[in-house]
Amino acid sequence: MIQRDDREFQVLAAVVRLYSETGLPVSSALVARWLGGTVSSATVRSDMMRLEDQGLLGKPHTSAGRVPSDKGFRSFVNRILEGDASLPPPSGVLPMVEQELRRSAGTHAMVKSLASLLSRLTDNIGIILGPAWDGVRALRLELYSQEGRRILMVLILDNALVRTGTIAVDEPFSATVLDDAARLLSERICGLTVREIRDGALDDLSLNGDAAERCASELAQRGSDLFLDVEEGDLELMGVANMLDAPEFSDPDRLKNLVRFLESPRSIRGALQRLSPENEGGIAVWIGTENPIDELQGFSLVSSPCEMNGRRGVLAVLGLRRMPYDRAIAGMQVLIRSLKQQD
């Protein structure tokens, strides 16, 4: 016979999963069917009343159904993190993830690929904060002429990383001049970290000299933006449309809070750095009002640090309080394991 504590958790887990699917209060009869008829509807009803007395379930309005409270979600999530309620990833997921990571490994597209994978694995918003580039060393700079006196700067970094930027210049430069300017700039930055370059390694290039020196100096000044935004790492998010059809967004304040948060890259970076655990592979789950970020208290965030090309990044899933936590955590664990195998 199933012990009452175990049965009550099964009832709680059923309510959480059913509510996650529908967003509607869950009845005892529906839970009994979900449990395969192993427990009567009357027993489920008694268990749900006890769970309500413990603050794990709530009864909205006069509905006969129950919904999980933040405390109820927390109890369920803790059991997932302990391995007692986790679900294996669907078949075919691992090969798909590994193939996508192999395709984008070591490229600027990797962060975007990870955000897309995380969104597809969880049906929520996948957010990736890529590792900071400021400690990566430069190998060389390449210059290519574009239309309208514009020059494409391609910064080749260690570990096959690449950053690009397009700069408008005052005078046209020939391909020969661009090659010579690229050589001058490459000699100056080769072996330096992005931080060292950003902090003034190119400041003393002379404006006086031949065309190559003038070109190199102008690009050093105007191309500084190529180095300014790398300290915090690339930020990508995917899957916002996954959430917007949910009935919760009939509340305009909830939608405003989501938009306010997502439209500020600085806020997203700050939140991920603040809410992610320090230990690699550790997963933090912030549910509703547990979240110290005001705009996110109507949502839940699952986050974990990870290794990308030997440097620290952050994976995160942002969704409604009723997100499928088991799927979100399982999807994140798949990505973390796959990234470790890539290193």
Kindly report, residue by residue over 254-278, the tens digit of the pLDDT: 999 999 999 988 889 889 988 988 7
Residues 326 and 289 in one domain: yes
Q: What is the CATH number of the domain that holds 240?
A: 3.30.450.40
The per-residue DSSP string of 53-99 comes to: HTTSEE--TT-SSBEE-HHHHHHHHHHHHTTSS--PPPTTHHHHHHH
Angle value at C-alpha 6, between 49 and 74, nearest 5 degrees: 70
Distance between CA atoms of residues 339 and 343, nearest Å: 7
In sequence order, the β-bridge partners of residue 126 are 238, 317
Q: How many distinct structural domains can be found in the chain? A: 3
Residue 109 tokens, joined: 């597209």
Number of helices (H), then strands (E), belonging to the chain: the values are 14, 10
Domain of 142 in residue numbering reads as 138-228
- Among residues 93, 127, 123, the alpha carbon closest in space to that of 112 is found at 127
Mark whether 201 and 295 lie in a shared domain: no
Decide which of 202, 228, 254 is a domain's last residue.
228
pLDDT interval class at 1 (50, 70, 90): very low
For the chain, how long is the longest CA-to-CA vector? Answer: 90
pLDDT grade for 233, boundaries at 50, 70 and 90: confident
281-299 pLDDT, tens per residue? Answer: 689 999 999 999 999 999 9
Buried b (16+ CB within 10 A) or exposed e, 228-262: eebebbbbbbbbeebbeeeebeeeeebeebbeebb
Predicted pLDDT at 2: 39
**Residue 86 in domain:** no
